[in-house]
C-alpha cells in the first residue's frame, strides 16, 4: 500500500504546528529594538520559551492521536509521557539558552556595521530555524519512542515530501528498525510511518520524487550538473552521497545527547537523563533494553 492518509495528515499537522510556533516567536522578536536587543529580548524570553514548550507538548501529544488511529483502539503498550519531550531541546540543551542566542548574534552584527534591519534579520533567521527544528525533532522523538514501545510496530519508513533537500530525498521510502537513528538536519520536516502487520506503507522513493520534480526544482536541489547526471541515468544515491553528509550534521553544536533538565532539584541531583537517540544507540538493536531505558529516563509510563 502507499503512504497512508493518516501519515500524510500527521506530517501536515506537524508542519503546520512548527510554522505556527515559529511565526508566534518571530512576532515577539519584531518587538525588539535594534539598540536595546539584550534588554528587550530578555524581557520577552520567558514568554517565548513557554510558547515553544507549548508547541513541543502539542507535537508530542500528536503522537497519541496518530498511533491510536493507526494501530486501533485495542492496541496495548506503554504510553509516552508528552511532558518529558517538552522539557528541553531534543539535543539536550536548555531551551531558553538556545532562544537567547539571537542577542549576541544581533549585537555582533550591529558592531560590524550591519544596518539595524539586517542585524535583526539575522536573529529572526536563527529563531525561525531553531524553533522549526525543535518542534519537528520533538515530534519525531515522541513518535519513535511510541513505536519502540509498541510491539505491533516492527519498523518505520522515512516519509519525505517536497520541498526537500537532496540529502533527505535519497533517504525517502527507506525502511529502518524502530530504534534506528533518524538522520536529519536543521529545519528538516521529514517524518516516519510505522510498519506493522496490517500497515505496510510504500511512500515515494528517491527516484519517484526526482521524476515528480520540475526542471527548476531539480536544478535547485541537485545543482545543474547533478540534475543532468541523474536525468541521464546516473545513480541518484551516488550523485548525492547523502548518508555521509547527513551523518556529519550536528544539531546546535551538540554531539552528546544527555540532559540534566528534569532530573531533579539542585539539592538532589540525579544522573543526566539520556536523550532517546542515545538510548537507541546504547541498546544496540536490543528492543527490550531500549524500552527499559525509555522507562528509566521517564519517556514511557
Reported as a single tens digit per residue, the pLDDT across 202-214 is 888 999 999 999 9
Per-residue pLDDT band for 75 (boundaries 50, 70, 90) equals low
Cβ 265 vs Cβ 198: under 8 Å: no
Tell me the C-alpha to C-alpha distance, in Å, between residue 253 and each of 5, 128, 150, 186, 211: 36, 17, 32, 11, 35
d(CA 25, CA 54) in angstroms, rounded, equals 12
pTM: 0.81
CA 49 remoteness from chain centre: 17
Tell me the per-residue pLDDT of 122-134, one tens digit each, with 9 for 90 and over: 999 999 999 999 9
Per-residue pLDDT band for 143 (boundaries 50, 70, 90) equals very high
In the predicted structure, residue 146 carries a pLDDT above the cut 80: yes
d(CA 68, CA 275) in angstroms, rounded, equals 24
Mean pLDDT throughout 241-254? 42
Mean pLDDT throughout 110-132? 94
In the predicted structure, residue 277 carries a pLDDT above the cut 90: no
Mean pLDDT throughout 83-108? 89
Q: Which residue in this structure is represented by grid cell 519498523?
A: 155
In the predicted structure, residue 222 carries a pLDDT above the cut 50: yes
How high is the pLDDT of residue 126?
Answer: 94
In order, the DSSP letters of the chain are ----HHHHHHHHHHHHHHHHHHHHHHHHHTT--TTSHHHHHHHHHHHHHHHHHHHHHHHHHHHHHHHHHHH-TT--S--B-GGGGGSS-TTS--HHHHHTTHHHHHHHHHHTT--HHHHHHHHHHHHHHHHHHHHHHHHHHHHHHHHHH-TT--EEEEE--SS--HHHHTTTT-EEETTS-----TT---EEEEE-SS-------HHHHHHHS-HHHHHHHHHHHHHHHHHTT--HHHHH-HHHHHHT--BTTB-S-EE-TTS--SSS--PPEEPHHHHHHHHTT-HHHHHHHHHHTTSB-
Amino acid at each position: 500500500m502507499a503512504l497512508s492518509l493518516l501519515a500524510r495528515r500527521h506530517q501536515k499537522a506537524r508542519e503546520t504546528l512548527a510554522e505556527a510556533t515559529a511565526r508566534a516567536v518571530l512576532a515577539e522578536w519584531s518587538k525588539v529594538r535594534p539598540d536595546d536587543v539584550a534588554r528587550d529580548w530578555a524581557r520577552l524570553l520567558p514568554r517565548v520559551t513557554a510558547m515553544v514548550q507549548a508547541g513541543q507538548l502539542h507535537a508530542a501529544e500528536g503522537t497519541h492521536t496518530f498511533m491510536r488511529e493507526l494501530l486501533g483502539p485495542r492496541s496495548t503498550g506503554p504510553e509516552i509521557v508528552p511532558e518529558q519531550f517538552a522539557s528541553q531541546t531534543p539535543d539536550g540543551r536548555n531551551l531558553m539558552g538556545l532562544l537567547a542566542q539571537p542577542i549576541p548574534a544581533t549585537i555582533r552584527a550591529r558592531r560590524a556595521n550591519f544596518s539595524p534591519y539586517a542585524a535583526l534579520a539575522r536573529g529572526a533567521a536563527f529563531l525561525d530555524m531553531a524553533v522549526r527544528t525543535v518542534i519537528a525533532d520533538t515530534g519525531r522523538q515522541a513518535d519513535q519512542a511510541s513505536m519502540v514501545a509498541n510491539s505491533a510496530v516492527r519498523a518505520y519508513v522515512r516519509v519525505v515530501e517536497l520541498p526537500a533537500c537532496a540529502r533527505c530525498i535519497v533517504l525517502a521510502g527507506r525502511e529502518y528498525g524502530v530504534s534506528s537513528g533518524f538522520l536529519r538536519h536543521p529545519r528538516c520536516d521529514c517524518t516516519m510511518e510505522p510498519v506493522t502487520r496490517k500497515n505496510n506503507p510504500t511512500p515515494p522513493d528517491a527516484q519517484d520524487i526526482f521524476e515528480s520534480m520540475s526542471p527548476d526544482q531539480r536544478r535547485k536541489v541537485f545543482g545543474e550538473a547533478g540534475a543532468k547526471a541523474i536525468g541521464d541515468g546516473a545513480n541518484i544515491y551516488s550523485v548525492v552521497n547523502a548518508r555521509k553528509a547527513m551523518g556529519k550534521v550536528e544539531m546546535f553544536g551538540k554531539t552528546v545527547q544527555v540532559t540534566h533538565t528534569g532530573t531533579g532539584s539542585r539539592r538532589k541531583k540525579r544522573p543526566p537523563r539520556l536523550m532517546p537517540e542515545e538510548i537507541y544507540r546504547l541498546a544496540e538493536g536490543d528492543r527490550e533494553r531500549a524500552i527499559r531505558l525509555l522507562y528509566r529516563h521517564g519517556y514511557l509510563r
